[in-house]
Chains A and B, each alone.
Chain A
Amino acid sequence: MERAMPDDGRRRITVEINGREYTAEVEPRLLLSDFIRHEARLTGTHVGCEHGVCGACTVQLEGEPVRSCLMFAVQADGRSLRTVEGMTDGLEEGELHPLQQAFHEKHGLQCGFCTPGFLMSLEPLLLEERELTDREIREELAGNLCRCTGYQNIVEAVKLARERMHAGETPEA
């Protein structure tokens, strides 16, 4: 069946990712997750289910965690994104973000496929001033699936990172 397009289709877009601008001509149908991986070449963002269930592709849009597989790249034109790669910006080579460090120490990952999505979903919790119960942390990570580690160690990692954050400590690298 012929599918008429209103024009030749491609759109020129510029998306800021981790403080750097990426410009490309893309089809309107291109998913943001594919733009991040294939155009910006930032492969830290993983694509799991590609329909918004698994959470592996979670990135931050203007600071808010969202599914990058449920947005089109053209919708991010002129907007600001953060991906897992941005977590170590400004750190020494080999140094980890406090949440990554806590995941490492608490064994919050095994195969690591789901980890970037978890980190993007949970990072805003580190800035949350008020006390959080385990239940609240679990609700926050309920939109991310992990099939090998389970969630207990991830909850522990969030708590450890928050403790250090709030004590003003810098974690050992």
Chain B
Amino acid sequence: MLGLLAEHGDEGKILAGGQSLVPLLNFRLAHPENLIDINRIGALAGIRRKNGHLYVGTLTRHSTMEHSRVVGENWPLLTEAMKFVAHPQIRNRGTVGGSVAHADPAAELPVAFLTLDARFKALSRRGERTIAAGDFFITHLTTALEPDEALVEIEVPPVAPGTGYAFTEFARRHGDFALGGASVLVTLDSAGVCERAAVGLLAAGPTPMRAPGAEEVLAGERIDEKVAREAASRAIADISPTGDIHGSAEYRRELIEVMVRRAIQKATERALARGGSNGASDA
């Protein structure tokens, strides 16, 4: 795989599950000279947990992650996000790494990984490097991967005890790409005060993005509806979603605000329901 990538560079495109790439080929919107099919490289698929960290092979199918007990028990945000990913037939073929490398701002997994501070392992003939999710998504459908690099593994750090999660999304029909959504983690201390929050936004701009302003609003607060509203309003202060036939930019901003608020409230409820004990292990 790496030899072929090095040889073909810009004209070589990795074919994983093909659920995003093949439609582009069928429409003749993309026409790479060469496709490098990695589907028979079994070593690239699989989910394991080691020293509390999650490692997901790039070729792991969506349906495998959706039903993974290890993921559900320790990173339920990912399991909740999976419910919004397309349809069963797509999830049977689509891969986790393919979704990340495609980097659609309206896709669920990239923003969920960004919220979880995941790290992406890239491999090339030149060597291996690890890219933090925050540095990975450059602009629309563009990542930090070089033409000769392949994304081979996603690493997700453990979620702190006392953390509640929520993934919210609105689409015209279930399984469609999101018009707007939010991915939220809230970590509460034993007194119920927010120690740390991570707020990710779907379809809010050219890339999956975090909302640092909203995270600052939440930190140090006892989160009630007023705080959640303030954080949600901060979340949309700096975004400029693209309007299209499915919804104007203005509509999308309002939608994202509501999605963020709901996700914060749900994540907080879930964190409180666990009384600050190991919040992430409810499955």
Residues on A lying within 8 angstroms of B by beta carbon are 3-4, 6, 28, 31, 50-52, 55, 58, 61, 64-67, 69-72, 74-75, 121, 139-140, 142-143
A–B Cβ pairs within 8 angstroms, 18 of them: A6-B34, A31-B22, A51-B22, A52-B23, A61-B92, A64-B92, A66-B92, A66-B93, A67-B93, A70-B22, A71-B93, A72-B37, A139-B88, A139-B174, A142-B87, A142-B173, A143-B89, A143-B175
Interface residue tally for chain B (C-beta within 8 Å): 22
Residues of B close to A58: CB separation below 8 A: 89
Residues of B close to A55: CB separation below 8 A: 87, 89
Question: A143 touching B90 by the CB < 8 A rule?
Answer: yes
Tell me the minimal C-beta distance from B121 to chain A in angstroms: 25
Question: A67 touching B26 by the CB < 8 A rule?
Answer: no
Question: A51 touching B19 by the CB < 8 A rule?
Answer: no
Query: In whole angstroms, how far apart are the Cα atoms of A143 and B88 in the complex?
Result: 7
Query: In whole angstroms, how far apart are the Cα atoms of A143 and B89 in the complex?
Result: 7
Is B244 located at the chain interface by the 8 A CB criterion?
no
Residues of B close to A64: CB separation below 8 A: 63, 92
Q: Which of B76-95 contact A (CB under 8 A)?
A: 86-90, 92-93
Question: A143 touching B39 by the CB < 8 A rule?
Answer: no
Q: Of B34, B86, B88, B174, which is in contact with the most chain A CB atoms at under 10 Å from its CB?
A: B88
Query: In whole angstroms, how far apart are the Cα atoms of A28 and B89 in the complex?
Result: 23
Nearest A residue to B19, CB-CB: A70
Question: A70 touching B23 by the CB < 8 A rule?
Answer: yes
Query: In whole angstroms, how far apart are the Cα atoms of A28 and B25 in the complex?
Result: 13
Residues of A close to B33: CB separation below 8 A: 3-4
Residues of B close to A28: CB separation below 8 A: 35
Question: A52 touching B92 by the CB < 8 A rule?
Answer: no
Query: In whole angstroms, how far apart are the Cα atoms of A59 and B177 in the complex?
Result: 23
Extra pairs beyond A66-B89, A70-B22 (10, CB < 8 Å): A28-B35, A51-B26, A67-B90, A67-B93, A75-B37, A121-B89, A142-B87, A142-B174, A143-B87, A143-B89
Residues of A close to B35: CB separation below 8 A: 28
Query: In whole angstroms, how far apart are the Cα atoms of A50 and B88 in the complex?
Result: 17
Tell me the minimal C-beta distance from B84 to chain A in angstroms: 11
Residues of A close to B34: CB separation below 8 A: 6
Question: A52 touching B22 by the CB < 8 A rule?
Answer: yes
Query: In whole angstroms, how far apart are the Cα atoms of A51 and B23 in the complex?
Result: 5
Tell me the minimal C-beta distance from B245 to chain A in angstroms: 15
Tell me the minimal C-beta distance from A59 to chain B in angstroms: 9
Is B18 located at the chain interface by the 8 A CB criterion?
yes
Question: A67 touching B39 by the CB < 8 A rule?
Answer: no
